[in-house]
Chain A
Amino acid sequence: MFNSSLSQLGAALRAKKISSVELTQSYLDRIATHNPVYNAYLTVDNKASLAQAAIADQLLATGSAQALTGIPIAQKDIFCAKGWRTTCGSKMLADFIAPYDAHVIEQFNRAGAVNLGKTNMDEFAMGSSNETSYFGPVRNPWNQNAVPGGSSGGAASAVAARLCAAATGTDTGGSIRQPAALCGITGIKPTYGTVSRYGMIAFASSLDQAGPMARSAEDCALMLNVMTGFDERDSTSLQREKEDYSRDLNKPLAGLRIGLPKEFFAEGLSADVGARVQEAIAEYRKLGAVIVGISLPNTRLAVPVYYVLAPA
């Protein structure tokens, strides 16, 4: 069950093979057993999660369930969730109980998903290893002596350790993509403006963007379907048609052109990481994709520009 995809879990819930309360309780038990080691969650509230699960079970019983109804989702502790402690990984907010919901939290509530808990992160999302959390570092489930990456390290660790069905993260300069890579899961930083920043504690407002962290592209697509949408409370929210991000999941890759910037395969790339990437490229070739060598000559400036702009 803990290895099921979101669509499999949704199907099992709608077929009444398992209830949301049962599913949520199983995850809460698993968190109670393993979280002392991984430190992926900062706050778990069994009562609140199970109450949401009971509401989801009513929706499931009346046949008004959506794709994620009843599914337990871990929320990064950067999102305000009404009645939940929201610390952003900082001692300054150690006792802060959010009085309102972030837009992302509202969207999951509307979809009938269950908030399984708040995940650990670098303090105020400033970090790339999860070692700067006031509440202690997060462990990488693949190797407890390794960092999970950051700042969404708790989310990445929770997904990799199967302590949630899927999770949310936020990304300013890599905070979804880098921990997703370090924990062997899938994460997306969506186009800026796609997901509302309302109720999401800011780091660098013109770069911050929330996105999904899950076990597959399919799961990320289902998460994005819930998270995205116009919100007038975020002045940079994009006004555009709601998309179904799962629409191309079964599209064959034959003929798809994939560009490989040569600057990404240069100095500083570890041999083992490079070898795995080459294996993935070979796999894409087998599936019929066309690999094209390209050049992004200003790549080396990205980090200096980021480090000057982000804290500005």
Chain B
Amino acid sequence: MSLSTADVQKVARLARLAMNDTEIEAARTQLSGIFELIAEMQAVDTAGIAPMSHAQDLSQRLREDRVTEDNQRELFQHIAPQVEDGLYLVPQVIE
């Protein structure tokens, strides 16, 4: 499967990326390459091979439900550009 120029233009518009024709063509080639990688894998016969979810044989460690962290709000907000009454202030993006 390979992408058309129109597909890439649509994805770019959805991602709010301004791309010229050269950039669209470069992205089209690279994105199509990803489909080729997937096709290469799909061509492999995996019948009879057990799925491996992880390299290690791990089980979920559980612990007692208790407070393990102190509230460090001031320390964490210390590096924020703008805070007010313990809240982060961010530029308005939605009118």
Please state if B37 and A99 are interface contacts (CB–CB under 8 Å). no
Q: Given the known inter-chain contacts A96-B79, A99-B72, A235-B61, please indicate yes or no for A308 contacting B41, CB distance below 8 A.
A: yes
A232 in contact (CB, < 8 A) = yes
Known contacts being A235-B60, A236-B58, A238-B56, is A305 close to B76, with CB within 8 Å?
no
User: A99 touching B56 by the CB < 8 A rule?
Assistant: no
Interface residues of A in 175-205 (CB under 8 A from B): 192-193
Other than the known A95-B79, A301-B44, what 18 A-B pairs have Cβ atoms closer than 8 Å?
A97-B78, A97-B79, A99-B72, A99-B75, A99-B78, A192-B55, A192-B56, A193-B58, A206-B54, A206-B55, A232-B61, A232-B63, A235-B58, A235-B60, A236-B54, A236-B56, A301-B41, A304-B40
B3 in the interface (beta carbon within 8 A) = no
Q: Let me know if B1 is at the binding interface, CB within 8 A.
A: no
Instruction: Kindly state whether residue B93 has any CB partner on chain A within 8 Å.
Output: no
Cα distance A73–B72 when bound, in Å? Answer: 29
B residues in contact with A304, CB < 8 Å: 37-38, 40-41
CB of B34 closer than 8 Å to a CB of A: yes
**Distance of A305 Cα from B83 Cα, bound (Å):** 44
| Chain B residue at smallest Cβ distance from A207 | B55
Interface residue ranges, B against A (CB under 8 Å)? 34, 37-38, 40-41, 44, 54-56, 58, 60-61, 63, 72, 75-76, 78-79
For the residues of B in contact with A, the DSSP-based class is loop
Give B6 Cβ to nearest chain A Cβ, in Å. 24
Centre residue among A96, A236, A238 by max chain B CB count within 10 A:
A236
**CB-based contact A99/B76 at 8 Å:** yes
A307 to B36, CA, bound (A): 11
Contacts of A96 in B (CB 8 A): 79
Q: Is the CB of A307 within 8 A of B79?
A: no
Bound CA–CA A95/B82 (angstroms): 13
Interchain CA distance A298-B78 in the complex, whole Å: 51
CB-nearest residue of chain A to B60: A235
28 contacts between A and B (CB under 8 A): A95-B79, A96-B79, A97-B78, A97-B79, A99-B75, A99-B76, A192-B55, A193-B56, A206-B54, A206-B55, A235-B58, A235-B60, A235-B61, A236-B54, A238-B56, A298-B44, A301-B40, A301-B41, A303-B37, A304-B38, A304-B40, A305-B41, A307-B34, A307-B37, A308-B34, A308-B37, A308-B38, A308-B41
User: When chains A and B are docked, how far (Å) is the Cα of A96 from the Cα of B79?
Assistant: 7
Instruction: Provide the residues of chain B in CB contact with A305, threshold 8 Å.
Output: 41
**Smallest CB-CB separation from A192: which chain B residue?**
B55
Give the residues in chain A near B60, CB-CB below 8 Å.
235
Complex Cα spacing A305 to B41, Å: 7
Kindly list chain A residues whose C-beta atoms are within 8 Å of the C-beta of B72.
99
A235 to B60, alpha carbons, bound, how many Å?
7
- Write out the residue numbers on chain B whose beta carbons fall within 8 Å of the beta carbon of A308: 34, 37-38, 41
In the complex, chain B residues whose CB is within 8 Å of the CB of A95: 79
Instruction: List, in ascending order, chain A residues with CB within 8 A of B37's CB.
Output: 303-304, 307-308
What are the residues of chain B within 8 A of A298 when measuring CB–CB? 44
Q: How far is the CA of A192 from the CA of B40 in the complex (A)?
A: 26
**A38 CA to B61 CA in the complex, in Å?**
44
| Bound-state Cα–Cα, A303 to B40, Å | 10
Task: List the A residue with the shortest CB-CB distance to B77.
Answer: A99
A5 vs B94: C-alpha distance when bound (angstroms) = 57
Contacts of A192 in B (CB 8 A): 55-56
Across-interface contacts of A97 in B (CB, < 8 A): 78-79
